[in-house]
């Protein structure tokens, strides 16, 4: 089985909860020495918005693996909506909650509505994404 590599080395989630069939949650501690923070605004270092999207992607892929098996993957195919509302700074914890529903027209598509918050409850981002399921052994 060929594993697709999305970002290396990027761990965009520290922990993932995949217990629910239709929801996934995850968290990530933003550390000042994370290599991707260097230079992402030199005098106001923030966790890049694209990495919040990648955090959701890694959580969704973990959910798919947990509920469909290790041969399944999920590829991001569409960002329908995204809004960034507050920065994530070194020392913050990103907390994600995402609702996953099968596509209405295509059962191989997953619609994901996700919200990212800091540990203080401030909403950092809200987004609607679409992923395509793929059996990597098929």
φ and ψ at 36, to 5 degrees? -80, -10
Annotated active-site residue in 40, 43, 63, 67:
40
pTM of the model: 0.91
Top CATH class, 15-135? alpha beta
Q: Which two tokens stand for residue 14?
A: 């520290």
Residuewise pLDDT in 10s, the chain (138 residues) = 445 555 556 889 999 999 999 999 999 999 988 877 877 777 788 999 999 999 999 999 999 999 999 999 999 999 999 999 999 999 999 999 999 999 888 989 999 999 999 999 999 999 999 999 999 887
Residue 40 falls in the annotated catalytic set? yes
């Amino acid at each position: 089985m060929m594993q697709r590599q999305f970002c290396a080395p990027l761990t965009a989630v520290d922990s993932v909860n995949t217990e629910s069939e239709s929801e996934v949650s995850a968290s990530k501690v933003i550390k000042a020495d994370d290599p991707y923070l260097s230079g992402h605004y030199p005098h106001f270092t923030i966790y890049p918005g694209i990495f919040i999207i990648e955090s959701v992607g890694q959580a969704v892929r973990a959910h798919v693996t947990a509920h469909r098996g290790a041969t399944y993957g999920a590829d991001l195919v569409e960002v329908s909506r995204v809004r960034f509302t507050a920065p994530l700074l070194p020392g913050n914890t990103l907390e994600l909650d995402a609702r996953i529903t099968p596509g209405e027209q295509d059962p191989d598509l997953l619609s994901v509505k996700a919200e990212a918050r800091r540990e203080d409850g401030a909403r950092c981002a809200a987004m609607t994404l679409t992923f395509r399921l793929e059996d990597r052994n098929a």
